Amino acid sequence: MSLLHLAWCYFRSRALLAMSALAIALGVAVLFAVLAVVNGFLAQVESTIRDFSGDAVVAAIPERLAPEAELQDYLDALEAVEGLESQQPRLNYYGLIGRRGARAIDDPRTTDLSGLLLVGLDRLPEGMKRLQADPQLEAVAFGPEEVPPGAILVGKVLAAKAGVGVGDSLMVISFKRGSQGYPVPVQTSFRVEAVFTTGRYDHDIDRAIVRREDLALMIGDGLGFNEIGLRGRPGLAPEQLADRAEAALLAAGLKQKGWPMLVSTWRAQGGNFLRAVENQKGILSAVFFCIVLVAAYQLVATLALTVTEKRRDIGVLGALGAAPGRIVTFFVSLGLVIAAVGSALGLLIGTWLTANLEWVQDRIFGERIFNAETYIFDHVPVAVDWSSVLILLGATLGAALVFSFLPAWLAARLNIVDALRR
């Protein structure tokens, strides 16, 4: 029989206290779900950027084509970087495609053109999945394979927009430097080898992968590269990998050779966007924690009412030897019990909510409030960051402690004899 046990007995027998716990539970559940979605969003963004771009990128500045003859020097220098798992040269270039059945792509009157980023690669990157012929089946990861000659792999939204599927031919228009220095349009027909998804709407709508040699041939500058993607071993921070790569290039005298090369991490590349999401996460956390605070604040009223209703019991405890400090401890314990039960219930509701978010959207809103066009992803990503959850729980209990203190102090000030006479 401890004071905490007595507080628990009080809690069990009073519906008002349970309602207080429920208010806290709802606040905690909503904040838990919001944090899980924002964390999931961040994790998904990070994962897709990283999978597609690698941990770090060595890029030519300005975006010029470095000649193939220099590639091996760069690859050799970077090969010595400690912790490097793989590296891949890339050639990025912009192009246009026309919708299937539209007028000829070189017809200046056509309006059915879509811009895209042509990514010239030797091997397929990680993190991409191949859509299956049966749309009901889930996309499967590509194996470690080379990009076939004459082939193009198209993002799923782009493929739908252009109306092409596997096996179709796709005319791509781009520009090469003419003899007078002016850009000259060129067009090349590719065979659609696969339709892929990266899990990110903004990548799936404007990316197509071709063989680096084919792209170099198309733009007529000879084989070359403008990026080298680096992937580090698990556990190696991207910033560390980038620093080591930069040091290796400097040591090999390659950083300023030919075209200046800049080494950056995937995090720096998506820096502004990630910072914006982090800021939104902070703002959302603060706003929703205010809801938890309001829920915890009503403990003042609930406990003050309990003190009034339980004056006689407080008198009895005093008569039996409870010092004022013990009375304070008892009511603060009661506040903590309410907050703890509310938090535990909130975690359960929040966990269920995050696990069934799609179902909840369908049932409550009748439609998906998170759509891919707006939120980049075609599903609601969820990731529970338990350190944030612990902070949330600690802050909730802390707030309950503070808000319980005033009614607890009022209870301790009661005159025992007056309280017993009630």
The residue ranges that bind another protein (CB under 8 A) are 1-3, 5-6, 9-10, 12-13, 312-313, 315-326, 415-417, 420
**Beta carbon nearer to another protein, 231 or 310:** 310
Task: Tell the smallest beta-carbon distance from residue 3 to another protein (Å).
Answer: 7
**Beta carbon nearer to another protein, 128 or 314:** 314
Per the structure block, which two tokens stand in for 125?
């990157």
**Beta carbon nearer to another protein, 162 or 322:** 322
**Beta carbon nearer to another protein, 12 or 177:** 12
C-alpha span between 401 and 56 (Å, rounded) = 47
Task: Tell the smallest beta-carbon distance from residue 309 to another protein (Å).
Answer: 11
Task: Tell the smallest beta-carbon distance from residue 198 to another protein (Å).
Answer: 58
Per the structure block, which two tokens stand in for 336?
């903590």
Task: Tell the smallest beta-carbon distance from residue 323 to another protein (Å).
Answer: 4
Task: Tell the smallest beta-carbon distance from residue 45 to another protein (Å).
Answer: 50
Task: Tell the smallest beta-carbon distance from residue 331 to another protein (Å).
Answer: 14
Half-sphere exposure at residue 413, Cβ-oriented, CA atoms within 13 angstroms: 8
**Beta carbon nearer to another protein, 13 or 136:** 13
Task: Tell the smallest beta-carbon distance from residue 413 to another protein (Å).
Answer: 10
- Closest of 204, 210, 206 to residue 119, by C-alpha: 210
Name the phi and psi angles at 192, rounded to 5: -70, 110
**Beta carbon nearer to another protein, 120 or 315:** 315
Alpha-helical (H) ranges within 310-364 are 311-319, 324-355, 357-360
The DSSP line for 38-95 is HHHHHHHHHHHHHHHH-SEEEEESSS-PEEHHHHHHHHHHHHTSTTEEEEEEEEEEEE
Task: Tell the smallest beta-carbon distance from residue 14 to another protein (Å).
Answer: 8
CA 304-310-313 angle, 5° bins: 135
Task: Tell the smallest beta-carbon distance from residue 16 to another protein (Å).
Answer: 14
**Beta carbon nearer to another protein, 193 or 313:** 313
179 contacts 161 by C-beta, under 8 angstroms: no
Per the structure block, which two tokens stand in for 226?
């403008």
**Beta carbon nearer to another protein, 12 or 103:** 12
| Chain Cα centroid distance, residue 369 | 17
**Beta carbon nearer to another protein, 3 or 139:** 3
Per the structure block, which two tokens stand in for 89?
């040269």
Task: Tell the smallest beta-carbon distance from residue 332 to another protein (Å).
Answer: 16
**Sheet strands (E) in 183-252:** 183-197, 207-211, 224-225, 227-232
- Closest of 246, 165, 199 to residue 52, by C-alpha: 199
- The residues with which 170 forms a beta bridge, in sequence order, are 190
**Beta carbon nearer to another protein, 259 or 409:** 409
**Beta carbon nearer to another protein, 13 or 374:** 13
Task: Tell the smallest beta-carbon distance from residue 17 to another protein (Å).
Answer: 11
C-alpha span between 210 and 203 (Å, rounded) = 15
Residues near 308 by Cβ (< 8 Å), separated by ≥ 6?
none
Sequence length of the chain is 422
C-alpha span between 23 and 31 (Å, rounded) = 13
Per residue, the 3-state secondary structure of 237-306, as one string, reads CHHHHHHHHHHHHHHCCCCCCCCCEEEEEHHHHCHHHHHHHHHHHHHHHHHHHHHHHHHHHHHHHHHHHH
